[in-house]
Amino acid sequence: MTVEEQRYEGEFRYVNSRLITNSEEIAFYQGNKRERRNIYHAFNKLVSTWSHKVICNNNVYYYMGFLGQGGPSRHPLMLIRP
């Protein structure tokens, strides 16, 4: 998951820096719609990765909190004896 997140962050930074560098040419050739689409696409990929990460983390924290407060009286792993 971290590799994907880093890749999407890098892509988003690249698209932004390219926009800043070429802003005059983009305005001259009226390429604002295409550049907006590129930025939105890169940003949406990044946000979807973040939201997936948040959902996974919240599920883990919820489950661990449930077990920490007594949850089920006997967790299946507690039944295993060495």
For the chain, the DSSP string reads -HHHHHHHHHHHHHHHHHHHHTHHHHHHTT-HHHHHHHHHHHHHHHHHHHHHHHHHHHHHHHHHHHHHTT-SSS-GGGG---
Q: Which pLDDT score is estimated for 63?
A: 59
Which pLDDT band, with edges at 50, 70 and 90, does 82 fall under? very low
**Does residue 41 carry a pLDDT above 90?**
yes
Output the six-digit token pair for 62: 């919820």
Residue type, 77: L
**Does residue 69 carry a pLDDT above 60?**
no
Average pLDDT of span 29-37: 92
Residue type, 44: N
pTM recorded for the entire structure: 0.61
Percent of the chain surpassing pLDDT 70: 62
Cα 79 from Cα 76, distance rounded (Å):
5
